[in-house]
Structure 1
Amino acid sequence: MMFSPLRLARGASLLVVLLAASALTPAFAQDAAPAAEAPAAAEAAAPVSPDTVVATVGGEAITEAELGFAAEDLAQELQQMPPEQRKAFLVRVLIDMKVMAKAGADAGMADTPLFALRLQYLKERALRRAYFADAIAGSVTEEAVRAAYDKFVADFVPQPEIRASHILVATEEEAKAIKAQLDGGADFATLAKEKSIDPGAANGGDLGFFGKGMMVAPFEAAAFALTDVGQVSDPVQSQFGWHVIRLEEKRESSPPAFEQVAAQLQQQLLMTTFDSTVAKLMDGVEIDIPDPALAAAVSAQTETDAAAEPAAQ
């Protein structure tokens, strides 16, 4: 079965971008540096050359560059150990690798057809990582993310938000009695502290600002139906009990600060940049999967991934 190259590329994009990006630091945070350098933060601040030798094994050097490559492959394991232990861990892994690699070469394993296939795979994986870091992640600069944020702010449509307080009780009779007290001039915050069974009652029942879709439906409908600041609702029931609600403030929502959405915008830019870059690379490339069952499965996976991509963004 033949596939549209663009369609196949987009279907695989979400997974590939997330996997490749997981090995990179944020594009505008700092240049990618070997994770092994973290334990040496207290040492000289001068940049470490990738050619710097950290150990030798049977006369063969282990360099800072190799530590960085190992850190990429073992990122998950490194996250689970204290920073001060990571460099020693990577050196130990590379010592084992050098010794076993030599044993494998001495045994003739480097001359087998299977090894040649594995070597080709590893070469292509390394080239993909390098291309991703340079052509895709490298283009997602702080300036690009800030430009995306500026567009986000320009397109932002303010939504109504309210700040409300409530008193939560178990029964309708209790709620009606509290409403009567409030209508008679009782202080809302005092009654909330005395009567409310909500965990937030200690602050007078203040829920802070919220927009539509953030509260359970009956509560939200009653709260947004209040028109005047200081107005108190009639008792309203939700799955948590009976509420008496007071409107404290009204305002229009504002866009979040750059720092709050920068990571999300960066991820979106990575995904869209990946898609557009791969689409160009795949232009004119034919993809043929001879096995009809596998072709159908790949096609289904492609469609699933493509449908999930907008939601992920």
Structure 2
Amino acid sequence: MRTLISAIAVVLAATTPLVALAAKKDPAEKPAVQGSAEQQRPVVTVNGVAVPEIDARIAVADRRAAGVADSPALQNAVRNQLVARELFAQQARKQGLDKNAVLRARMRMAQEELLARAYEEDYLVKHPSSDEQVRKEYDGIKARSGDKEFLVRHIMLASEDEAKGVITRLRGGESFQSLAALSKDEGSRTRGGELGWRNASNLPPQLTEAATKLAKGQTTQQPVKGPAGWHVLLVEDTRPFTMPPYDDKIKGQLRQALARQALATHLGELLKSAKVE
């Protein structure tokens, strides 16, 4: 169960585009998919197999959502794509590819993924963040951020002894960027440990406390215990921090962050009542 709960962050990272889409989707852009006989009429027939109109509507809607303007050229391109898709699918069935176990598993997984994403989108629509929640989140971040931010690199190790070993090698003249290859943080390891500009709102408290004690160009002389391991920090620069204004752009970003939090909470609730063996 603990492993599943720890996977929530990974799951939600994958839903970020969905969160953004749910926040700005125009209902008029979404094709109706229930109870319309008109949508089941063929938009094209290929070797006697009818391709329903709803397939074309969904394909057009996807392209419009990506910024492509609707036009006769788009409609024709979608029709040609559907014809090509159907021809290839027919050939695949003739060759028995639809019986392939791996392919059938992938098809089942794709269906489950679509269902899961549809549920997530429906949940976000039914549980939107209020203006008051967005403002409260903004004020909370502003209060936590402080008045300074740091340009930080870090090396995260599994144990305190490993972190001490890195500090010893730094004292011996090895570069921080080269030793960052030892870091357990895959996201920053290939960038020489770079985390970018951070402040107290987006650094763990232990790392923030350590960073505030370092001057530009200094590294920690003792390992710093963080939530995920032991860290060696390098502060490359500091500058004053000013919270961005409370405008439409920041409101949109905060709504997305709150939506991810809502999904994480809901997933946790579902896990508590689920029987996972």
The TM-score, its normalising length taken from structure 2, stands at 0.48
The TM-score, its normalising length taken from structure 1, stands at 0.44
Bigger Rg, structure 1 or 2: 1
| Larger relative contact order (CA 8 Å, sep ≥ 6) | 1
